[in-house]
């Protein structure tokens, strides 16, 4: 049975863009090729030497035949030397080809590495909105196809196209020198007709190839869908129906493959006809000259050997042509990623954030993710240096948005945010983000060990610092209970640890970062009451001497805050200490009473 693959749709190459893509790719590749200029040069020399050895083989064959022609019953010294030379040339041709591959392989792989790294860095420079809009799977497919396309282009350029062009020129020159320009002319015309025919037929065949691929994809998707819904099929006794539907897709696939095969027949037989025609013509020409004693039998065999040798790599021309166009399209998609410039980046004269105290101010901040849906409206508040401010409000009120804006994940619509009087849009992103540590609402962990996930907060932290962060986040008991301790792997996206454990890992990670400003976004939401109390104690200790912003649903966790900001529909409804807000009897008091009732 054919393998099941996902129905990934490939973009179709368009001729219009090929030239620009090729130009862009070459411009991009140039620095890499230049960096390895000696290696590329050596690979080219190996290529020329390998081709020269191959090109000398028919010549050696000619001399063997000519030498044997008069001495049919004796292997004289000369033919023996020629035979050894023939064998040597054959070996040298293959060996030098391998040397060329080994030399150039490093260049290709290095170019793939450089390009892969550039895209990766570029993707990390793009803002959150870009990543939320795009499917990560799609991007990684673009990168994979793009780098493979690059490797294909480089390899085929070096191993197929350039050597074949070299061979065409060499054979033409050899024929013109040894025989007459007519031989060269026939060869050149035959090669030109062959290339023209292959390109035209390959273009025509494309639709059949595409049809066959699409039929293959839909058939596979259908099979997967049906097998995934195994239970539903059984519930409704629809095995027969499923088989019929699957077979109707298979029939379409069969039809498409038939057309594809017939078009391949047209291509291959047309190519064979052109080769046979050219060889017959040249052999006929050579045979008449042999009869007229102008050429030897060895010459006749040599002409034949050169033609067969010349057309051998051209057999792959249809495939190479199609794949090069596909590679260029894949590269275009990847290069397209580079065209997307970061919307959030350092301004030309961005300064380092000079953090003296850590006072944060939101001044008349308005923001929306999408037009016509305001999230924050004219919001102003100040978090004095070293104080703890809590933000509360209904779900969707815009609390986490405040944290994202402080990190400058988005640009504001109006207003500004300052830290110690400096507008955060005018300082470098790196210095800004370095100053803030966050325990996010949804902690996502890397698929590595608990310790490595904590170390991520400050990769150069000492082991003692990590241990200290572990104990501050009340993780010691949990870690010692694990057979593999902090070397335990957390699984993909941290799915192998519980929500509360994940939050404590996130707290340890944030502690390790040692930033003067701390944000806790629902940092205890996944914890039971006793762990919550422990964590709150830890948070209090960590937050001492820090400016901290605590976003919370459960009001009991923030009663000790210096100031509580109540958000309602993206606006500041009221603010004050727990006691003063309760006394005021407003929104906060109402929320408090509601939560108290729910607890009882």
Where along the sequence are the contacts to ligand ATP (CB under 6 A)? 132, 369-370, 375, 393, 395-401, 441
Q: Which two tokens stand for residue 43?
A: 């690979």
In the bound state with ligand ATP, the residue whose beta carbon lies nearer, of 24 and 368, is 368
In the bound state with ligand ATP, the residue whose beta carbon lies nearer, of 50 and 406, is 406
Evaluate whether 338 touches 388 at the Cβ level (below 8 Å).
no
Distance from C-alpha of 545 to C-alpha of 510, rounded to nearest angstrom: 15
Q: Which of helix, strand or coil describes residue 416?
A: strand
Least distance from C-beta 125 to ligand ATP, angstroms?
Answer: 19
Least distance from C-beta 128 to ligand ATP, angstroms?
Answer: 7
Distance from C-alpha of 177 to C-alpha of 183, rounded to nearest angstrom: 10
In the bound state with ligand ATP, the residue whose beta carbon lies nearer, of 301 and 507, is 507
Least distance from C-beta 494 to ligand ATP, angstroms?
Answer: 19
Evaluate whether 236 touches 355 at the Cβ level (below 8 Å).
no
Distance from C-alpha of 457 to C-alpha of 508, rounded to nearest angstrom: 8
Instruction: Write the CA distances from 393 to 410, 546, 560, 570, 585, integer angstroms.
Output: 21, 23, 17, 9, 15
Q: Which of helix, strand or coil describes residue 360?
A: strand
Evaluate whether 539 touches 520 at the Cβ level (below 8 Å).
yes
Q: Which of 539, 411, 524, 522 is nearest to 469 (CA)?
A: 539
Distance from C-alpha of 559 to C-alpha of 583, rounded to nearest angstrom: 13
Evaluate whether 396 touches 548 at the Cβ level (below 8 Å).
no
Q: Which two tokens stand for residue 302?
A: 């040599």
In the bound state with ligand ATP, the residue whose beta carbon lies nearer, of 18 and 442, is 442
In the bound state with ligand ATP, the residue whose beta carbon lies nearer, of 404 and 451, is 404
Residue 295 DSSP symbol = S
In the bound state with ligand ATP, the residue whose beta carbon lies nearer, of 33 and 128, is 128
Length of the chain: 600
In the bound state with ligand ATP, the residue whose beta carbon lies nearer, of 219 and 401, is 401
Least distance from C-beta 395 to ligand ATP, angstroms?
Answer: 3
In the bound state with ligand ATP, the residue whose beta carbon lies nearer, of 131 and 141, is 131
Evaluate whether 357 touches 385 at the Cβ level (below 8 Å).
yes
Residue 202 DSSP symbol = H
Least distance from C-beta 573 to ligand ATP, angstroms?
Answer: 13
In the bound state with ligand ATP, the residue whose beta carbon lies nearer, of 95 and 592, is 592
Residue by residue, DSSP assigns 103-145 as HHHHHHHHHHHHHHHHHHHHHHHS-HHHHHHS-HHHHHHHHHH
Least distance from C-beta 131 to ligand ATP, angstroms?
Answer: 10
Evaluate whether 537 touches 523 at the Cβ level (below 8 Å).
no
Least distance from C-beta 574 to ligand ATP, angstroms?
Answer: 16
Least distance from C-beta 393 to ligand ATP, angstroms?
Answer: 6
In the bound state with ligand ATP, the residue whose beta carbon lies nearer, of 295 and 397, is 397
Least distance from C-beta 591 to ligand ATP, angstroms?
Answer: 12
Least distance from C-beta 404 to ligand ATP, angstroms?
Answer: 7
Distance from C-alpha of 222 to C-alpha of 482, rounded to nearest angstrom: 44
Least distance from C-beta 331 to ligand ATP, angstroms?
Answer: 31
Evaluate whether 600 touches 563 at the Cβ level (below 8 Å).
no
Residue 448 DSSP symbol = S
In the bound state with ligand ATP, the residue whose beta carbon lies nearer, of 306 and 410, is 410
3-state helix, strand, coil in the chain (%, to 5): 65, 10, 25
């Amino acid at each position: 049975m054919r393998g099941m693959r996902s129905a990934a749709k490939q973009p179709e190459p368009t001729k219009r863009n090929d030239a620009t893509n090729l130009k862009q790719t070459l411009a991009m590749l140039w620095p890499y090729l230049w960096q390895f200029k000696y290696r590329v040069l050596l690979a080219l020399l190996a290529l020329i030497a390998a081709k020269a050895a191959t090109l000398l083989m028919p010549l050696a064959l000619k001399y063997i035949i000519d030498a044997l022609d008069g001495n049919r019953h004796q292997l004289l010294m000369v033919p023996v030397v020629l035979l050894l030379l023939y064998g040597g040339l054959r070996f040298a041709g293959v060996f030098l080809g391998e040397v060329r591959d080994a030399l150039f392989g490093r260049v290709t792989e290095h170019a793939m590495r450089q390009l892969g790294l550039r895209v990766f860095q570029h993707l990390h420079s793009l803002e959150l909105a870009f990543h939320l809009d795009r499917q990560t799977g799609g991007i990684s497919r673009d990168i994979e196809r793009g780098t493979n396309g690059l490797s294909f282009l480089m390899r085929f350029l070096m191993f197929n196209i350039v050597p074949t062009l070299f061979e065409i020129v060499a054979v033409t020159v050899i024929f013109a020198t040894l025989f007459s320009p007519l031989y060269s002319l026939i060869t050149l015309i035959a090669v030109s007709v062959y290339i023209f025919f292959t390109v035209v037929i390959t273009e025509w065949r494309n639709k059949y190839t595409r049809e066959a691929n699409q039929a293959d994809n839909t058939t596979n998707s259908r099979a997967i869908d049906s097998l995934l819904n195994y239970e539903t099929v059984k519930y409704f006794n629809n095995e027969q129906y499923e088989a019929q539907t699957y077979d109707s897709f298979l029939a379409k696939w069969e039809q498409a493959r038939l057309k594809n095969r017939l078009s391949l027949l047209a291509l291959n037989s047309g190519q064979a006809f052109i080769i046979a025609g050219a060889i017959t013509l040249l052999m006929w020409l050579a045979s008449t000259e042999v009869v007229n004693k102008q050429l030897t039998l060895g010459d006749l065999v040599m002409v034949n050997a050169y033609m067969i040798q010349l057309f051998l790599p051209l057999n792959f021309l249809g495939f190479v042509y199609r794949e090069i166009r596909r590679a260029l399209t894949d590269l275009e998609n990847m290069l397209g990623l580079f065209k997307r410039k970061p919307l959030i980046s350092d301004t030309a004269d961005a300064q380092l954030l000079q953090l003296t105290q850590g006072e944060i101010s939101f001044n008349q901040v308005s923001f929306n993710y999408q037009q016509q849906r305001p999230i924050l409206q004219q919001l102003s508040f100040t978090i004095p240096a070293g104080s703890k401010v809590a933000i509360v409000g209904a779900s969707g009120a815009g609390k986490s948005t405040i944290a994202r804006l402080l990190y400058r994940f988005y640009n504001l619509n109006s207003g500004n945010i300052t830290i110690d009087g400096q507008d955060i849009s005018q300082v470098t992103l790196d210095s800004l983000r370095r100053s803030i540590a966050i325990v996010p609402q949804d902690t996502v962990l890397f698929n590595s060990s608990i310790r490595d996930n904590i170390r991520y907060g400050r990769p150069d932290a000492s082991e003692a610092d990590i241990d200290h962060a572990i104990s501050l986040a009340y993780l010691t008991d949990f870690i010692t209970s694990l057979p593999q301790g902090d070397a335990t792997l957390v699984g993909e996206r941290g799915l192998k640890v519980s929500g509360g454990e994940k939050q404590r890992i996130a707290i340890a990670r944030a502690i390790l970062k040692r930033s003067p400003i701390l944000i806790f976004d629902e940092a205890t939401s996944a914890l039971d009451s006793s762990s919550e109390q422990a964590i709150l104690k830890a948070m209090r200790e960590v937050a001492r001497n820090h400016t901290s912003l605590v976003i919370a649903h459960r009001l009991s966790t923030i009663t000790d805050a210096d100031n509580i900001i109540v958000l309602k529909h993206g606006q500041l409804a009221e603010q004050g200490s727990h006691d003063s807000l309760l006394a005021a009897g407003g929104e906060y008091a109402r929320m408090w009473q509601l939560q108290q009732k729910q607890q009882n």
